[in-house]
Structure 1
Amino acid sequence: MMALPVPLRGLPGPGEPTRDEGSGGALSASLHWLHRLLGWQVDVTRHRYGALADDEYRGLYVPDREADLLGAPGWGEGALPPELRARRAALASERAAWDRAGEAGDAPNGELAPLKRLARLFRLSAFEEDVLLLGLAPEIDLRFERLYAYIQDDVTRKRPSVDLALRLLCPDPAARLEARRSFAPGSPLLRHHLIQVFEDGQRLPPLPGQFFKPDDRIVAEVLGQADTMLDPVIGPYCSLSRPARTMADLVVPPELRETLSRLVARPARHERGPILALQGSYGSGRGAIADAIAAELAVPLLAVSLDRLAASDLDPRETLERVLREAVLRGAAIFWHQAERLLQDEAVTPVDGGGGSIRPASAGPWRGALLAALGNHPGWAFLALEGGWEARGALGAAGGRFLRVDVPPPSYGAREALWRNRLGADAPDEATLAALASTFRLSGGQIRDAVAMARSVAGARGEGPRAEDLYAACRAQSSGRLDLLAHKITPTYGWDDIVLPADHVGQLHEISAQVRHRRTVLDTWGFDAHLAMGKGLNALFAGPSGTGKTMAAEIVAADLGLELYKVDLSSLVSKFIGETEKNLDRIFTAAREANAILFFDEADAIFGKRSEVKDAHDRYANIEVGYLLQKMEEYDGVVVLATNLRKNLDDAFVRRIHTAIDFPFPEEPDRRRIWDKVFPASAPLDETVDLGFLAQRFKLAGGNIRNIALLSAFLAAEEGEAIGMGHLMRAIKREYQKMGKLLTESDFGPYFAQVRG
């Protein structure tokens, strides 16, 4: 038989006091108790096997005497001698005394033992606590491995088996049968990944024949070596902090600060903390709110990057269970970043040929794992959301803890203060600061990023940021998801390029003025309090194709320094019920993030006169129109709707437009001004070109004139000549053909012969 190891040096022998103090002393005392328990088991083995216990080949074969013992009633485990029974009873009494001390709040040297703390945190039974101790012992002293091998009759079995735990820690077969539950998949030991159960070479061994060891993170926790160590599985995707920010530091509306303070101060209605859904855009301060609440509660904050986790190959449920375990060990609140992408639980799909029905589409295993984690976490949890997500029963019993808090974008005054604080000594003049705060509705995080970008660009020149650097950085922050949903137009025109009646140009200037001075009127002068909706600006540009509607939108965007995005309404309309509204919501949400001007071309396609409702499709089409009107009124930016046929628009819609500008077909004087402006100063124009003749004879819109000028330039360049009347006539011919117009002598006059063939 393998030799029995000598008493473990460094561990107190029976009856010896522990020399360590604090929680370390408590652990040492626990190991001393386990050592004595294992010594008792060694003596039990010797008693039962007698001379066989000293057989050096024991464990390699089954001798007749051992077979007789195994075949005897009760597997040969007859009554033990009084001395062994008394020792076991004394060990059990000592163990029970520890439990009573723990329940009373007492602990050796005034500190809670590490194992007792784990037992409380994860609600372990006394048996499960001892299982942890059994697994931890070799992590502290390898000589325990030799004891386990001796007792388990196999030099290779150096880890404790489930059978060893059951025989060593349970007084009778009935207790062992009940204790098997502690090794089931849903038990606290396995659900919280406190131990790992594994096989040891044997294929499909029964549960008692499997072995276990504590998880490395638990070992570090017990040994007090986890101050800066996160579970290595989740470490790359999480960060732990001890926030110092207070509620007073938050740049949020006063009413929101009061709401948050009440949440922190109120007595807990539940044993567990609330699940706080912080709804806001990027950089709106959701992380700052989580920091402030954690600081007020004096708890750490564990931040989890869900998008990076979802892109990994990790098992969703096990990974998030490890996140929960880390939070419980730290006593931390959890901040779930990018939660919305995982929680969106509905997707519209065609059913039976796309007849308009909808059904939920699975969002994947990460969603289920996250919902389970939210329900199981005992402390505060924060969800970072951009859109509106409601629990709607998804959280089960934990749904009563779900609270949604809207985090609004900063007000004009807050934005101005954020710009001033971020720029510091680099701040421009007050007028530029005011313009930045008014023009770009950026969040605090976006302002931070814009300042960093502007400083980086200016630093390459060896100077501080200029106003144009700040404007460019703001536009860069504004772009993003909208680029995927709409076509970005880069403005190339200025006020001198457009040809319109003076009053109409004045209306365009008024649009710019309303945007530029919006904060003065709404905030400073108090009009904001009188407007529930419609704080943005909706403009209708009506006129034939080519009369300058897109150019006008470009000019306004350039004047304000804002991005301009053109939206194809036909691409947003879906045959699936509810999908059009989702498309519109995505557009306006992205536009709000981008601080962009939305330009809806050919709006009469959806805003035409509403038809009589004859079936569900007509009714739904009218719902779509109403929803778009609602989103336009909620949007606090600029929306421009362009139409070729104003008379086709629904009257109720026109009444809800703030500004309507007609773009008339140009008369001869306006056409002459367009011809004068259409050729760049550097373009070679032959002296024979008669712009007056072109304006008089050809009734064309500005867009057609620009097409003709460009084609004539290419024709002239091909022939190596200056742009002449011949090139212009050929270009006009092509434009007429494209428009489906007849070539007539009354239009072309003396040049008719050049184009007739």
Structure 2
Amino acid sequence: MGNFFILIEVTKSNEHQKAKLLIKSRASATMTIYKNNLEHILEELNRIDTIIRLYYEKSKADHIESSQGFQGLYISEDEINAILQTPSFESKAYARSPQEHEKIEKITREINAKKAESINQGKELRLHILSELFHLQPFEVDALLVCLAPELDMRYEKLYSYFQNDVTRKRPSVDLVIKLLCHSTEERLWARDIFSQDAPLIKNRLVYLIGDEQVPLLSKFLKVDDRIINFLLGENAIDQRVRNFSAIIKPQKSFQDLILPEGTITTFRNLINNHSLVKIPMFFFYGPYGSGKKMAAEAICNELGMSMLVVNSKALMKDQALETLKPVLREALLQNSSMYFEGFDGLLKEENMGVTGLLMELDQFPNLIFLSGEQYWEPAGVLKNHSFISQAFPLPSLMLRKRLWESMLDGDAPEDVDIGALAGKFNFSGGQIKDAISTARNILIAKNPGNSKLSMEVLNMGCKAQSNRNLVAFARKIEPHYTWEDIVLPDDIKKQLKEISGYIKYRGIVYTDWGFDKKFSLGKGLNALFSGPSGTGKTMSAEIIARDAGLDLYKIDLSNVVSKYIGETEKNLSKIFKEAETSNAILFFDEADALFGKRSEVKDAHDRYANIEIGYLLQKMEEYEGVVILATNLSKNIDDAFLRRMHFVIDFPFPDENQRKLIWSGIFPKCAPLAGDIDYKFFAERLKLAGGNIKNIALSSAFYAAEESCAIGIHHLMRAAKKEYQKIGKPFLKEEFQPYYKMIEEDGK
């Protein structure tokens, strides 16, 4: 068939108006295959052109003349009479003759044969792919092509306006599509279902129905979705409506790249190689940030030769999730990809998100689905077409952390970097290790742009930047300044404190290298109880241990933890331990009897829940693999269940005279100006106070001396001692502090 244009002139006897109809008929190629996707699209449209020409020839008699200047806007009596004289559902005028029917069938057979051969030879034909993806019937494909035509050639707007007797109706209506493609009453009535909300064209939003709800279905216009148009023309760019919260990834990771427990990788390999699976897997990967969930999904998709559409669930929540999900699912189908939902458990926490509806929608997706979150979750029997497979991604063991550090540093670490120490000190996921190294490099550039070599110091800084970011809501970070030389305690107490420090330093060797972690599922952390009067060195000891071990120390603010509202205390405790676990931070609970006190007899609901809080705290302490130090003035106030779980219970005694003298002799900094009259022996003997009180006296005396612009002398100390006694409610008697009491009498202080 040669290329030609058909020019149809319709002369209106009264108006002398002419409507020109241009249809370009494309020649059918004689090749056995299509050169490309566009050639196939054009030949399918050529077939639609043939159908349109036949329809025109059959429908000319039905175009009733309208009043001049009011075509499509004014209905004449002649039109009404013609309508009333035509039987309902009249279809004889549009029935195809056997010759016409054979002509269309012949073209269809030729295209189908050519299409089949092209597919066999590896040609990508997008219309065929779309038909297969969404299970379109031939009639639905033709309807899609009728709607596609004006998107590619505006001359079809003139055609459709002419057929619909209205110059403003430039898009095909449902009625026009049915008239073009159906040639019997039965076909027309059946074809209405093709445009129902549950039919593939509309359900998958390949085509949109345009028109108010009150408008009859036949009068509604049809428009092909822009993403579908682009897809048919061979474009691969992701739909702009989902671009803000999703992206296509071509997986590069393989199973060899994964640093995960070997059993986890074996599980994935077995699932991929298990061809007896009746249902498609829907994976739920749960674990902390950076624990390898996304990388594992990439490796699985890489093994299967699939791309992956990654969806940010948090961003998805900003819109109506169920409505937004539909174009996302369609995009994944068009890209022939699996789906990976980051932070899916965030959807579960939101009220009215319709999670059941979301899951039912996801269940219709025919490819792999990966859902990721932090906490374990089950879909509770919603799925019909997918097998739900959950997989935990815990924080890596010490051995795996070493491998992660080595892999991510990739030889960029100098000799002074102790990877084993970093792995042991910071209980990081792979993602956190990566972030820590990146932060360390940024710190290095800021400090010295010319130096690109990482050091242990800067890596420690990078690690601490990743740790405990949210812990400040419940705790105050203490910067340790004291050393073992600064504290005055009996030798046996000091020895126990150093044992705690040694436990922290060598826990990696004992639990990992020597295999003790396989013997114990819980209780791998260290719990210590410091008891004794206020000011005897409990907080100072915690600081020294933290500094010696190189760990952060957080003093828990119990006022922000304990809540009068039932269940809130447990939530706060959960946040504290979860946030602290990444860096093995030392959690220091001062005045712990407020939280760890003895359980009471249950007299009301609050007693019962208070006891539940204590039980919950016991559980979190056993699960926590870091260090917890409790401090109390009276150990007898602590619940026995806590005492049984303590690795160390250390009683801090009130300092004797010799210990007080040592405290006094070391209390002033070397650069502080001191008068020669200070009698340390006198103060150690007469001021029977703990180290904390002695520190207060020394500091106050320094301010008194600074005010007078002189060295710190004994009269400043006497004045400060009197104030400290008044503060703690003890009498400062004249006879007990002679001969120096007269100094404060003389100056009236």
Q: TM-score higher than 0.5 here? A: yes
Deviation at 1:18, TM superposition (A): 9.7
Counterpart of 2:269 in structure 1 is 261
Q: What CA deviation, in whole Å up to 9, does each residue of 1:39-98 have, x standing for no partner?
A: 222223203237x4998864343333322222224359462277x444664477569869
Deviation at 1:509, TM superposition (A): 1.7
* Cα pair 1:243 1:295 within 8 Å, conserved: yes
Taking the aligned partners of 2:470 and 2:117, their CA distance within structure 1 comes to 55
* Cα pair 1:597 1:640 within 8 Å, conserved: yes
2:659 to 670, 674, 680: 670
> Which segment drifts farther, 422-431 or 631-640?
422-431
Counterpart of 1:352 in structure 2 is none
* Cα pair 1:49 1:66 within 8 Å, conserved: no
Residues 431 and 222 (structure 1), Cα distance of their counterparts in 2 relative to 1, 3 Å cut: closer
> Which segment drifts farther, 643-652 or 746-755?
746-755
2:299 corresponds to which letter in structure 1? A
Residues 86 and 435 (structure 1), Cα distance of their counterparts in 2 relative to 1, 3 Å cut: same
Taking the aligned partners of 2:85 and 2:738, their CA distance within structure 1 comes to 125
Deviation at 1:521, TM superposition (A): 1.4
Residues 166-181 of structure 1: pairs in structure 2 closer than 5 A: 166-172=178-184, 175-181=187-193
Counterpart of 1:32 in structure 2 is 46
Counterpart of 1:350 in structure 2 is none
2:597 to 588, 608, 617: 608
Counterpart of 2:253 in structure 1 is 245
* Cα pair 2:529 2:649 within 8 Å, conserved: yes
Q: What CA deviation, in whole Å up to 9, does each residue of 1:231-281 have, x standing for no partner?
A: 11111322212213221221011111111212222236444x322121122
Residues 64-83 of structure 1: pairs in structure 2 closer than 5 A: 64-74=77-87, 77=90, 79-80=92-93
Is the partner of 1:516 in helix, strand or coil? helix
Structure whose residues are more often helix by fraction: 1
Deviation at 1:107, TM superposition (A): 6.0
| Matched pairs, number | 727
2:419 to 415, 433, 441: 433
Q: What CA deviation, in whole Å up to 9, does each residue of 1:636-691 have, x standing for no partner?
A: 11111111110122223212111122211222222222222222222222222323
Q: What CA deviation, in whole Å up to 9, does each residue of 1:361-412 have, x standing for no partner?
A: x53538567545533432212222123333345xx23596322211122222
Residues 628 and 53 (structure 1), Cα distance of their counterparts in 2 relative to 1, 3 Å cut: same
> Which segment drifts farther, 315-324 or 606-615?
606-615
* Cα pair 1:46 1:53 within 8 Å, conserved: no
Residues 392 and 482 (structure 1), Cα distance of their counterparts in 2 relative to 1, 3 Å cut: farther
Deviation at 1:184, TM superposition (A): 4.2
Is the partner of 2:738 in helix, strand or coil? helix
Taking the aligned partners of 2:544 and 2:713, their CA distance within structure 1 comes to 30
Counterpart of 2:304 in structure 1 is 297
Deviation at 1:597, TM superposition (A): 1.4
Taking the aligned partners of 2:203 and 2:288, their CA distance within structure 1 comes to 35
Counterpart of 1:349 in structure 2 is none
Residues 434 and 104 (structure 1), Cα distance of their counterparts in 2 relative to 1, 3 Å cut: same
Deviation at 1:726, TM superposition (A): 3.1
* Cα pair 2:33 2:117 within 8 Å, conserved: no
1:385 to 373, 385, 389: 373
Taking the aligned partners of 1:507 and 1:280, their CA distance within structure 2 comes to 36
1:343 to 342, 348, 368: 348
1:714 to 685, 688, 703: 703
> Which segment drifts farther, 22-31 or 697-706?
22-31
1:378 corresponds to which letter in structure 2? P
Counterpart of 1:330 in structure 2 is 335
Counterpart of 2:295 in structure 1 is 288
Is the partner of 2:248 in helix, strand or coil? strand
1:142 to 154, 157, 170: 154
Alignment pair present for 1:8 and 2:24: yes
Taking the aligned partners of 1:91 and 1:156, their CA distance within structure 2 comes to 33
Taking the aligned partners of 1:81 and 1:217, their CA distance within structure 2 comes to 34
Is the partner of 1:6 in helix, strand or coil? strand
Q: What CA deviation, in whole Å up to 9, does each residue of 1:22-44 have, x standing for no partner?
A: 54343223212211122222223
2:242 to 213, 225, 234: 234
Counterpart of 1:223 in structure 2 is 233
Deviation at 1:307, TM superposition (A): 2.6
> Which segment drifts farther, 91-100 or 564-573?
91-100
Deviation at 1:12, TM superposition (A): 3.0
Deviation at 1:339, TM superposition (A): 2.2
2:640 to 626, 642, 651: 651
**Gapped runs of 5+ residues in structure 2?**
1-16
Taking the aligned partners of 1:303 and 1:149, their CA distance within structure 2 comes to 43
Residues 17 and 425 (structure 1), Cα distance of their counterparts in 2 relative to 1, 3 Å cut: closer
* Cα pair 1:238 1:304 within 8 Å, conserved: yes
* Cα pair 1:607 1:649 within 8 Å, conserved: yes
Alignment pair present for 1:212 and 2:222: yes
* Cα pair 1:281 1:593 within 8 Å, conserved: no
Q: Please, what TM-score do these two structures have when normalized by structure 1? A: 0.88
Q: Please, what TM-score do these two structures have when normalized by structure 2? A: 0.89
Taking the aligned partners of 1:428 and 1:747, their CA distance within structure 2 comes to 62
2:526 to 537, 558, 563: 537
Alignment pair present for 1:160 and 2:172: yes
Is the partner of 2:615 in helix, strand or coil? helix
Taking the aligned partners of 1:81 and 1:213, their CA distance within structure 2 comes to 25
Is the partner of 2:247 in helix, strand or coil? strand
1:290 corresponds to which letter in structure 2? A
* Cα pair 1:278 1:405 within 8 Å, conserved: yes
Q: What CA deviation, in whole Å up to 9, does each residue of 1:434-458 have, x standing for no partner?
A: 2112111222222222222223333
Residues 721 and 81 (structure 1), Cα distance of their counterparts in 2 relative to 1, 3 Å cut: closer
* Cα pair 1:570 1:605 within 8 Å, conserved: no
* Cα pair 1:698 1:747 within 8 Å, conserved: no
Is the partner of 2:370 in helix, strand or coil? strand
Q: What CA deviation, in whole Å up to 9, does each residue of 1:468-498 have, x standing for no partner?
A: 1111111112232223333222222222222
> Which segment drifts farther, 291-300 or 589-598?
589-598
Taking the aligned partners of 1:127 and 1:733, their CA distance within structure 2 comes to 100
> Which segment drifts farther, 657-666 or 122-131?
122-131
Taking the aligned partners of 1:399 and 1:582, their CA distance within structure 2 comes to 36
Residues 204 and 64 (structure 1), Cα distance of their counterparts in 2 relative to 1, 3 Å cut: same
- Percent of aligned positions with the same letter in both sequences? 43
Counterpart of 1:61 in structure 2 is 74
Is the partner of 1:408 in helix, strand or coil? coil
Is the partner of 1:723 in helix, strand or coil? coil
Residues 469-618 of structure 1: pairs in structure 2 closer than 5 A: 469-569=458-558, 571-618=560-607
Residues 500 and 204 (structure 1), Cα distance of their counterparts in 2 relative to 1, 3 Å cut: same
Residues 538 and 88 (structure 1), Cα distance of their counterparts in 2 relative to 1, 3 Å cut: farther
> Which segment drifts farther, 447-456 or 569-578?
569-578
Residues 595 and 81 (structure 1), Cα distance of their counterparts in 2 relative to 1, 3 Å cut: closer
* Cα pair 2:34 2:114 within 8 Å, conserved: no
2:234 corresponds to which letter in structure 1? G
Counterpart of 2:10 in structure 1 is none
Taking the aligned partners of 2:357 and 2:690, their CA distance within structure 1 comes to 60
* Cα pair 1:41 1:168 within 8 Å, conserved: yes
Q: What CA deviation, in whole Å up to 9, does each residue of 1:327-347 have, x standing for no partner?
A: 111121111112232222xxx
Q: What CA deviation, in whole Å up to 9, does each residue of 1:615-649 have, x standing for no partner?
A: 44433333322221121111111111111110122
Is the partner of 1:619 in helix, strand or coil? helix
Deviation at 1:289, TM superposition (A): 0.4
1:386 corresponds to which letter in structure 2? E
Is the partner of 1:3 in helix, strand or coil? strand
Is the partner of 1:397 in helix, strand or coil? coil
* Cα pair 1:23 1:108 within 8 Å, conserved: no
* Cα pair 1:543 1:665 within 8 Å, conserved: yes
**Gapped runs of 5+ residues in structure 1?**
345-361
Deviation at 1:701, TM superposition (A): 1.8
> Which segment drifts farther, 255-264 or 604-613?
604-613
Please report the RMSD computed on the Cα atoms of aligned residues, expressed in angstroms: 3.2
1:387 corresponds to which letter in structure 2? Q
Q: What CA deviation, in whole Å up to 9, does each residue of 1:200-228 have, x standing for no partner?
A: xx8964433332211111111111112xx
